[in-house]
Structure 1
Amino acid sequence: MKKISGSILLLCFGLINTHAKAEVLQVSEHGFIVENTIQTDKKPEVVWAKLVKDIDKWWPKDHSWWGDMGKLSIQAYAGGCFCEVSDDKSAEHMRISFVNPNKTLRMTGGLGPLQGMGMYGALNWVLSEQEQKTQVTLTYRVTGINPEGFEKLAPIVDRVQSIQLNELKKYLEKRP
Protein backbone atom coordinates (compact mmCIF):
# COMPACT_ATOMS: atom_id res chain seq x y z
CA MET A 1 0.00 0.00 0.00
CA LYS A 2 1.36 3.42 -0.97
CA LYS A 3 1.54 6.15 1.62
CA ILE A 4 -0.19 9.40 0.61
CA SER A 5 1.48 12.62 1.70
CA GLY A 6 -0.37 15.13 3.88
CA SER A 7 -0.20 17.82 1.19
CA ILE A 8 -1.90 15.54 -1.35
CA LEU A 9 -4.64 14.77 1.19
CA LEU A 10 -5.11 18.49 1.87
CA LEU A 11 -5.29 19.17 -1.86
CA CYS A 12 -7.89 16.42 -2.34
CA PHE A 13 -9.91 17.63 0.66
CA GLY A 14 -9.75 21.18 -0.68
CA LEU A 15 -11.04 20.04 -4.06
CA ILE A 16 -13.89 18.13 -2.47
CA ASN A 17 -14.79 21.12 -0.32
CA THR A 18 -15.15 23.45 -3.32
CA HIS A 19 -18.15 21.53 -4.61
CA ALA A 20 -21.74 21.72 -3.53
CA LYS A 21 -22.89 19.20 -0.99
CA ALA A 22 -25.63 17.42 -2.94
CA GLU A 23 -28.33 15.13 -1.62
CA VAL A 24 -31.56 13.54 -2.74
CA LEU A 25 -33.61 14.03 0.44
CA GLN A 26 -36.75 12.17 -0.57
CA VAL A 27 -38.31 10.29 -3.46
CA SER A 28 -41.96 9.24 -3.57
CA GLU A 29 -44.40 8.15 -6.26
CA HIS A 30 -45.49 11.78 -6.68
CA GLY A 31 -42.17 13.65 -6.65
CA PHE A 32 -38.87 14.26 -4.95
CA ILE A 33 -36.81 16.72 -2.92
CA VAL A 34 -33.15 17.51 -3.67
CA GLU A 35 -30.86 19.83 -1.76
CA ASN A 36 -27.45 21.31 -2.49
CA THR A 37 -25.31 23.62 -0.36
CA ILE A 38 -22.19 25.70 -0.78
CA GLN A 39 -20.29 28.07 1.48
CA THR A 40 -18.47 31.20 0.49
CA ASP A 41 -16.52 33.93 2.27
CA LYS A 42 -18.70 36.56 0.56
CA LYS A 43 -21.32 38.46 2.58
CA PRO A 44 -25.01 37.61 1.98
CA GLU A 45 -25.52 41.00 0.27
CA VAL A 46 -22.81 40.19 -2.27
CA VAL A 47 -24.11 36.66 -2.84
CA TRP A 48 -27.65 38.00 -3.30
CA ALA A 49 -26.54 40.62 -5.82
CA LYS A 50 -24.57 38.09 -7.88
CA LEU A 51 -27.36 35.51 -7.67
CA VAL A 52 -30.08 37.89 -8.83
CA LYS A 53 -28.37 40.52 -10.99
CA ASP A 54 -25.62 38.46 -12.62
CA ILE A 55 -27.42 35.19 -13.36
CA ASP A 56 -26.57 35.46 -17.04
CA LYS A 57 -22.86 35.57 -16.13
CA TRP A 58 -22.74 32.39 -14.01
CA TRP A 59 -25.69 30.14 -14.95
CA PRO A 60 -24.32 27.31 -17.14
CA LYS A 61 -25.41 28.08 -20.71
CA ASP A 62 -25.65 24.37 -21.53
CA HIS A 63 -28.55 24.32 -19.02
CA SER A 64 -30.56 26.97 -20.83
CA TRP A 65 -32.85 26.88 -23.87
CA TRP A 66 -30.64 28.80 -26.32
CA GLY A 67 -27.12 28.47 -24.91
CA ASP A 68 -24.87 31.46 -25.56
CA MET A 69 -27.58 33.04 -27.73
CA GLY A 70 -29.93 33.42 -24.75
CA LYS A 71 -29.91 36.11 -22.06
CA LEU A 72 -31.05 35.08 -18.56
CA SER A 73 -32.58 37.45 -16.03
CA ILE A 74 -34.34 37.41 -12.67
CA GLN A 75 -36.96 39.98 -11.74
CA ALA A 76 -36.55 39.77 -7.95
CA TYR A 77 -40.11 40.55 -6.85
CA ALA A 78 -43.21 38.42 -6.30
CA GLY A 79 -44.72 37.70 -9.70
CA GLY A 80 -41.39 38.40 -11.42
CA CYS A 81 -39.79 36.10 -13.94
CA PHE A 82 -36.67 33.97 -14.12
CA CYS A 83 -36.63 34.26 -17.90
CA GLU A 84 -34.49 33.73 -20.96
CA VAL A 85 -34.72 35.72 -24.18
CA SER A 86 -33.08 35.13 -27.55
CA ASP A 87 -34.18 37.44 -30.35
CA ASP A 88 -37.94 36.85 -30.69
CA LYS A 89 -37.85 33.62 -28.62
CA SER A 90 -38.48 33.63 -24.88
CA ALA A 91 -38.95 31.20 -22.01
CA GLU A 92 -40.15 31.56 -18.47
CA HIS A 93 -37.95 29.16 -16.57
CA MET A 94 -39.73 29.87 -13.28
CA ARG A 95 -41.99 32.43 -11.62
CA ILE A 96 -40.73 34.36 -8.58
CA SER A 97 -43.10 33.75 -5.65
CA PHE A 98 -41.20 35.01 -2.57
CA VAL A 99 -38.40 37.51 -2.05
CA ASN A 100 -36.70 38.37 1.23
CA PRO A 101 -33.54 40.16 0.00
CA ASN A 102 -30.21 38.72 1.14
CA LYS A 103 -32.04 35.75 2.73
CA THR A 104 -34.56 33.89 0.55
CA LEU A 105 -35.54 33.73 -3.11
CA ARG A 106 -38.32 31.27 -4.02
CA MET A 107 -39.18 30.35 -7.57
CA THR A 108 -41.98 28.05 -8.71
CA GLY A 109 -42.37 25.96 -11.83
CA GLY A 110 -40.53 23.25 -13.70
CA LEU A 111 -36.94 23.77 -14.77
CA GLY A 112 -35.74 22.51 -18.14
CA PRO A 113 -37.35 19.30 -19.33
CA LEU A 114 -39.47 19.12 -16.15
CA GLN A 115 -41.52 22.00 -17.58
CA GLY A 116 -42.51 19.98 -20.64
CA MET A 117 -43.22 16.93 -18.49
CA GLY A 118 -45.81 18.91 -16.54
CA MET A 119 -43.76 18.82 -13.34
CA TYR A 120 -44.12 21.64 -10.85
CA GLY A 121 -41.86 22.59 -8.00
CA ALA A 122 -40.64 25.14 -5.51
CA LEU A 123 -36.98 26.12 -5.83
CA ASN A 124 -35.70 27.83 -2.68
CA TRP A 125 -32.43 29.74 -2.51
CA VAL A 126 -31.69 30.35 1.19
CA LEU A 127 -28.69 32.45 2.28
CA SER A 128 -27.56 32.20 5.89
CA GLU A 129 -24.55 33.60 7.72
CA GLN A 130 -22.46 31.00 9.49
CA GLU A 131 -19.21 31.94 11.23
CA GLN A 132 -18.21 34.73 8.81
CA LYS A 133 -19.29 32.68 5.81
CA THR A 134 -22.47 32.61 3.81
CA GLN A 135 -24.11 29.27 3.24
CA VAL A 136 -26.32 28.99 0.18
CA THR A 137 -28.84 26.17 0.34
CA LEU A 138 -30.70 25.31 -2.84
CA THR A 139 -33.71 23.05 -2.27
CA TYR A 140 -36.00 21.89 -5.09
CA ARG A 141 -39.28 20.20 -4.21
CA VAL A 142 -40.83 18.71 -7.36
CA THR A 143 -44.23 17.10 -7.78
CA GLY A 144 -46.05 15.54 -10.71
CA ILE A 145 -46.80 12.29 -12.46
CA ASN A 146 -44.01 10.35 -14.09
CA PRO A 147 -44.88 6.89 -15.48
CA GLU A 148 -41.24 5.79 -14.98
CA GLY A 149 -41.23 6.98 -11.37
CA PHE A 150 -38.79 9.40 -9.78
CA GLU A 151 -35.99 7.10 -8.60
CA LYS A 152 -33.88 7.75 -11.71
CA LEU A 153 -34.98 11.35 -12.31
CA ALA A 154 -34.26 12.73 -8.82
CA PRO A 155 -30.48 12.03 -8.90
CA ILE A 156 -30.22 13.60 -12.38
CA VAL A 157 -31.95 16.78 -11.21
CA ASP A 158 -29.75 16.76 -8.11
CA ARG A 159 -26.59 16.63 -10.25
CA VAL A 160 -27.81 19.50 -12.44
CA GLN A 161 -28.66 21.59 -9.37
CA SER A 162 -25.17 20.85 -8.05
CA ILE A 163 -23.63 22.07 -11.32
CA GLN A 164 -25.66 25.28 -11.18
CA LEU A 165 -24.79 26.00 -7.56
CA ASN A 166 -21.11 25.24 -8.17
CA GLU A 167 -21.11 27.73 -11.06
CA LEU A 168 -22.46 30.40 -8.69
CA LYS A 169 -19.71 29.54 -6.21
CA LYS A 170 -17.01 29.78 -8.91
CA TYR A 171 -18.40 33.13 -10.04
CA LEU A 172 -18.48 34.45 -6.47
CA GLU A 173 -14.92 33.41 -5.78
CA LYS A 174 -13.23 34.36 -9.03
CA ARG A 175 -10.55 36.98 -8.71
CA PRO A 176 -11.47 40.50 -9.92
Structure 2
Amino acid sequence: MKYAFVTLALLAATSTPALGEVKAEAEDGFNIIHVATVNATPDEIWRRLLSPKDYWNKAHSWSGSAAGFYIDAQANGCFCELFQETDSNGQVKTVGSVEHMRVIFAQPGKVLRMQGALGPLQSEAVIGTLTVAIAPTKESTGTTVSFSYVVGGYMRYKVPEIAPAVDKVLGEQFKNMLSPFAAKEDEAPKSDGFRLDVEKIADPAARDVGTSDAETSLDDAPGDVSLPEAPPSEPR
Protein backbone atom coordinates (compact mmCIF):
# COMPACT_ATOMS: atom_id res chain seq x y z
CA MET A 1 0.00 0.00 0.00
CA LYS A 2 1.19 3.49 -0.63
CA TYR A 3 0.22 6.95 0.37
CA ALA A 4 1.77 9.75 -1.66
CA PHE A 5 0.91 12.10 1.19
CA VAL A 6 3.99 10.73 2.97
CA THR A 7 6.21 11.95 0.18
CA LEU A 8 4.66 15.38 0.33
CA ALA A 9 5.22 15.52 4.06
CA LEU A 10 8.85 14.56 3.77
CA LEU A 11 9.41 17.08 1.02
CA ALA A 12 7.75 19.72 3.21
CA ALA A 13 5.81 21.32 0.39
CA THR A 14 5.40 25.02 1.03
CA SER A 15 2.97 26.23 -1.62
CA THR A 16 -0.41 27.33 -0.29
CA PRO A 17 -3.59 26.90 -2.35
CA ALA A 18 -5.74 29.96 -3.03
CA LEU A 19 -8.11 30.83 -0.19
CA GLY A 20 -6.17 28.55 2.13
CA GLU A 21 -3.46 28.78 4.73
CA VAL A 22 -1.81 27.29 7.77
CA LYS A 23 -3.65 29.60 10.14
CA ALA A 24 -1.75 28.72 13.30
CA GLU A 25 0.96 26.37 14.45
CA ALA A 26 2.75 25.41 17.65
CA GLU A 27 5.25 22.76 18.66
CA ASP A 28 2.52 20.16 19.10
CA GLY A 29 -0.10 21.10 16.52
CA PHE A 30 -1.50 23.33 13.80
CA ASN A 31 -4.70 24.64 12.20
CA ILE A 32 -5.37 24.69 8.46
CA ILE A 33 -8.16 26.73 6.88
CA HIS A 34 -9.62 26.69 3.36
CA VAL A 35 -12.64 28.76 2.43
CA ALA A 36 -14.42 29.68 -0.81
CA THR A 37 -17.77 31.00 -2.05
CA VAL A 38 -19.31 29.26 -5.07
CA ASN A 39 -22.43 29.27 -7.22
CA ALA A 40 -24.21 26.34 -5.63
CA THR A 41 -26.82 25.58 -3.01
CA PRO A 42 -25.91 24.13 0.39
CA ASP A 43 -27.66 20.90 -0.58
CA GLU A 44 -25.58 20.60 -3.76
CA ILE A 45 -22.39 21.08 -1.73
CA TRP A 46 -23.53 18.51 0.83
CA ARG A 47 -24.22 15.86 -1.80
CA ARG A 48 -20.84 16.47 -3.40
CA LEU A 49 -19.07 16.36 -0.02
CA LEU A 50 -20.53 12.95 0.78
CA SER A 51 -19.18 11.40 -2.43
CA PRO A 52 -15.39 11.55 -1.87
CA LYS A 53 -14.77 8.90 -4.53
CA ASP A 54 -15.69 11.57 -7.08
CA TYR A 55 -13.16 14.18 -5.97
CA TRP A 56 -10.48 12.65 -3.72
CA ASN A 57 -7.16 12.30 -5.52
CA LYS A 58 -6.24 8.60 -5.68
CA ALA A 59 -2.59 9.60 -5.15
CA HIS A 60 -3.62 10.34 -1.57
CA SER A 61 -5.23 6.99 -0.89
CA TRP A 62 -3.87 3.88 0.79
CA SER A 63 -5.07 1.53 -1.95
CA GLY A 64 -4.08 3.56 -5.01
CA SER A 65 -7.74 4.10 -5.94
CA ALA A 66 -10.48 6.45 -4.80
CA ALA A 67 -13.24 4.10 -5.95
CA GLY A 68 -13.68 2.66 -2.46
CA PHE A 69 -14.02 5.99 -0.65
CA TYR A 70 -17.26 6.76 1.17
CA ILE A 71 -18.67 8.89 4.01
CA ASP A 72 -21.49 7.68 6.26
CA ALA A 73 -22.79 11.07 7.43
CA GLN A 74 -24.13 10.26 10.87
CA ALA A 75 -22.60 10.27 14.33
CA ASN A 76 -20.04 7.46 14.56
CA GLY A 77 -20.23 7.04 10.79
CA CYS A 78 -17.05 6.37 8.85
CA PHE A 79 -15.08 8.29 6.26
CA CYS A 80 -13.46 5.11 5.01
CA GLU A 81 -11.67 3.54 2.09
CA LEU A 82 -12.28 0.00 0.88
CA PHE A 83 -9.43 -1.94 -0.71
CA GLN A 84 -11.01 -3.50 -3.78
CA GLU A 85 -9.79 -6.01 -6.35
CA THR A 86 -11.35 -7.55 -9.44
CA ASP A 87 -11.26 -11.35 -9.45
CA SER A 88 -10.89 -13.68 -12.42
CA ASN A 89 -14.65 -13.55 -13.00
CA GLY A 90 -14.66 -9.78 -13.24
CA GLN A 91 -16.32 -9.38 -9.85
CA VAL A 92 -15.14 -6.59 -7.55
CA LYS A 93 -14.39 -7.80 -4.05
CA THR A 94 -13.28 -5.99 -0.91
CA VAL A 95 -9.96 -7.23 0.49
CA GLY A 96 -9.35 -4.66 3.21
CA SER A 97 -10.29 -1.24 4.51
CA VAL A 98 -8.96 1.80 6.35
CA GLU A 99 -10.65 4.51 8.38
CA HIS A 100 -9.59 8.03 7.46
CA MET A 101 -11.91 9.82 9.90
CA ARG A 102 -14.91 9.22 12.16
CA VAL A 103 -18.04 11.44 12.01
CA ILE A 104 -18.80 13.17 15.31
CA PHE A 105 -21.32 15.80 14.11
CA ALA A 106 -23.53 15.87 11.04
CA GLN A 107 -26.17 18.44 10.14
CA PRO A 108 -27.07 18.03 6.44
CA GLY A 109 -26.38 21.09 4.34
CA LYS A 110 -24.69 22.87 7.25
CA VAL A 111 -21.95 21.07 9.17
CA LEU A 112 -19.92 17.89 8.93
CA ARG A 113 -17.32 17.39 11.64
CA MET A 114 -14.99 14.40 11.64
CA GLN A 115 -12.05 13.29 13.73
CA GLY A 116 -9.05 11.48 12.36
CA ALA A 117 -5.34 11.81 11.66
CA LEU A 118 -5.03 11.92 7.88
CA GLY A 119 -2.28 10.27 5.87
CA PRO A 120 1.03 9.75 7.66
CA LEU A 121 -0.40 11.35 10.80
CA GLN A 122 -2.37 8.15 11.35
CA SER A 123 0.69 6.51 12.90
CA GLU A 124 1.24 9.40 15.30
CA ALA A 125 -0.29 10.15 18.72
CA VAL A 126 -2.35 13.07 17.45
CA ILE A 127 -6.00 13.99 17.16
CA GLY A 128 -7.17 15.75 14.01
CA THR A 129 -10.58 17.42 13.77
CA LEU A 130 -11.96 18.53 10.41
CA THR A 131 -14.96 20.85 10.40
CA VAL A 132 -16.70 21.39 7.07
CA ALA A 133 -19.00 24.39 7.37
CA ILE A 134 -21.58 25.26 4.69
CA ALA A 135 -23.66 28.45 4.71
CA PRO A 136 -25.67 30.42 2.12
CA THR A 137 -24.46 33.92 1.34
CA LYS A 138 -26.38 36.93 2.57
CA GLU A 139 -28.50 37.15 -0.58
CA SER A 140 -28.65 33.35 -0.91
CA THR A 141 -27.05 33.65 -4.35
CA GLY A 142 -24.26 31.24 -3.50
CA THR A 143 -22.73 29.20 -0.71
CA THR A 144 -19.66 29.70 1.43
CA VAL A 145 -17.80 26.48 2.20
CA SER A 146 -14.89 25.97 4.54
CA PHE A 147 -12.51 23.29 5.72
CA SER A 148 -10.90 23.82 9.13
CA TYR A 149 -8.50 21.07 10.19
CA VAL A 150 -7.05 21.25 13.70
CA VAL A 151 -4.29 18.81 14.68
CA GLY A 152 -2.72 18.41 18.09
CA GLY A 153 -0.63 15.91 20.07
CA TYR A 154 2.73 14.20 19.93
CA MET A 155 4.15 13.53 16.48
CA ARG A 156 7.55 12.57 15.14
CA TYR A 157 7.24 15.13 12.36
CA LYS A 158 8.33 18.74 12.71
CA VAL A 159 5.27 20.99 12.57
CA PRO A 160 6.87 23.60 10.22
CA GLU A 161 7.42 20.78 7.71
CA ILE A 162 4.29 18.66 8.05
CA ALA A 163 1.77 21.51 8.34
CA PRO A 164 2.42 22.97 4.86
CA ALA A 165 2.35 19.46 3.38
CA VAL A 166 -1.03 18.68 4.98
CA ASP A 167 -2.27 22.11 3.89
CA LYS A 168 -1.32 21.39 0.28
CA VAL A 169 -2.97 17.98 0.19
CA LEU A 170 -6.15 19.03 2.02
CA GLY A 171 -6.37 22.15 -0.13
CA GLU A 172 -6.23 20.00 -3.25
CA GLN A 173 -9.20 17.92 -2.08
CA PHE A 174 -11.10 21.11 -1.15
CA LYS A 175 -10.52 22.51 -4.63
CA ASN A 176 -11.47 19.21 -6.28
CA MET A 177 -14.68 19.02 -4.26
CA LEU A 178 -15.75 22.48 -5.43
CA SER A 179 -14.54 22.07 -9.02
CA PRO A 180 -18.04 21.54 -10.54
CA PHE A 181 -19.19 24.89 -9.17
CA ALA A 182 -18.13 28.30 -10.47
CA ALA A 183 -16.50 30.60 -7.94
CA LYS A 184 -18.28 33.81 -6.98
CA GLU A 185 -15.38 36.18 -7.42
CA ASP A 186 -17.43 39.18 -6.31
CA GLU A 187 -17.85 37.54 -2.91
CA ALA A 188 -14.38 36.10 -2.40
CA PRO A 189 -14.09 35.35 1.32
CA LYS A 190 -11.17 35.75 3.65
CA SER A 191 -10.25 33.40 6.43
CA ASP A 192 -9.63 36.24 8.90
CA GLY A 193 -12.69 36.61 11.10
CA PHE A 194 -14.41 33.63 9.51
CA ARG A 195 -14.84 31.22 12.39
CA LEU A 196 -14.74 27.64 11.24
CA ASP A 197 -14.59 25.54 14.40
CA VAL A 198 -17.98 26.32 15.88
CA GLU A 199 -21.20 24.37 16.36
CA LYS A 200 -23.62 26.84 14.78
CA ILE A 201 -24.15 28.04 11.24
CA ALA A 202 -25.21 31.58 10.45
CA ASP A 203 -28.69 32.44 9.26
CA PRO A 204 -28.09 34.97 6.43
CA ALA A 205 -31.32 36.79 7.28
CA ALA A 206 -30.01 37.49 10.77
CA ARG A 207 -26.75 39.07 9.67
CA ASP A 208 -26.15 42.76 10.23
CA VAL A 209 -26.33 44.94 7.14
CA GLY A 210 -22.84 45.93 6.04
CA THR A 211 -21.15 42.86 7.47
CA SER A 212 -19.42 40.76 4.85
CA ASP A 213 -20.07 37.04 4.66
CA ALA A 214 -16.41 36.37 5.31
CA GLU A 215 -16.41 38.44 8.48
CA THR A 216 -19.64 37.07 9.89
CA SER A 217 -19.12 34.56 12.66
CA LEU A 218 -20.76 31.25 11.90
CA ASP A 219 -21.95 30.93 15.49
CA ASP A 220 -24.34 33.88 15.36
CA ALA A 221 -27.43 31.90 14.49
CA PRO A 222 -29.70 28.92 15.13
CA GLY A 223 -28.50 25.36 15.28
CA ASP A 224 -27.78 25.11 18.98
CA VAL A 225 -26.15 21.80 19.76
CA SER A 226 -25.58 22.36 23.46
CA LEU A 227 -25.98 19.27 25.61
CA PRO A 228 -29.49 18.61 26.95
CA GLU A 229 -30.19 19.13 30.61
CA ALA A 230 -29.25 16.17 32.75
CA PRO A 231 -32.24 14.00 33.75
CA PRO A 232 -33.31 13.92 37.38
CA SER A 233 -31.32 11.50 39.54
CA GLU A 234 -34.46 9.65 40.61
CA PRO A 235 -37.61 8.84 38.61
CA ARG A 236 -40.64 10.89 39.46
Q: TM-score range, shorter-chain basis?
A: 0.7 to 0.9
Q: Structure 1 residue 143: deviation in Å?
A: 0.6
2:39 maps to which residue? Answer: 41
Does the CA-based 8 Å contact 2:124-2:156 persist in structure 1? no
Which protein shows a greater Rg? 2
Q: Structure 1 residue 99: deviation in Å?
A: 0.5
In structure 2, the CA distance between the partners of 1:88 and 1:60, relative to structure 1 (3 Å rule), is same
2:56 pairs, out of 51, 56, 59, with 59
1:155 pairs, out of 164, 171, 181, with 164
- Find the aligned partners of 1:100 and 1:38 in 2 and give their Cα distance: 20
Q: Which segment drifts farther, 25-34 or 116-125?
A: 116-125
- Find the aligned partners of 1:152 and 1:143 in 2 and give their Cα distance: 15
What is the root-mean-square deviation of aligned Cα atoms in Å? 1.6
Alignment of 1:3-14 (within 5 A): none
- Find the aligned partners of 2:61 and 2:142 in 1 and give their Cα distance: 29
- Find the aligned partners of 2:114 and 2:74 in 1 and give their Cα distance: 10
Q: Structure 1 residue 145: deviation in Å?
A: 1.4
1:6 maps to which residue? Answer: none
Q: Of Structure 1 and Structure 2, which has the larger fraction of its residues in helix?
A: 1
2:149 maps to which residue? Answer: 140
SS in structure 1 of the partner of residue 159 of structure 2: coil
Q: TM-score, normalised by structure 2?
A: 0.62
Q: Of Structure 1 and Structure 2, which has the larger fraction of its residues in strand?
A: 1
- Letter in structure 2 aligned against 1:46: E
SS in structure 2 of the partner of residue 37 of structure 1: strand
Q: Which segment drifts farther, 37-46 or 74-83?
A: 37-46
Does the CA-based 8 Å contact 2:112-2:132 persist in structure 1? yes
TM-superposition CA deviations, 1:114-146 (whole Å, max 9, x none)? 111232111000011114111111000001213
Higher relative contact order (CA 8 A, sep 6+): 1
Q: Structure 1 residue 172: deviation in Å?
A: 4.2
Structure 1: segments with no counterpart, 5+ residues: 1-18
Alignment of 1:2-151 (within 5 A): 20-52=18-50, 54-68=51-65, 70-86=67-83, 87-130=94-137, 131=139, 132-151=141-160
Runs of 4+ in 1 over 4 A off after TM superposition: none
In structure 2, the CA distance between the partners of 1:148 and 1:92, relative to structure 1 (3 Å rule), is closer
- Find the aligned partners of 1:21 and 1:150 in 2 and give their Cα distance: 21
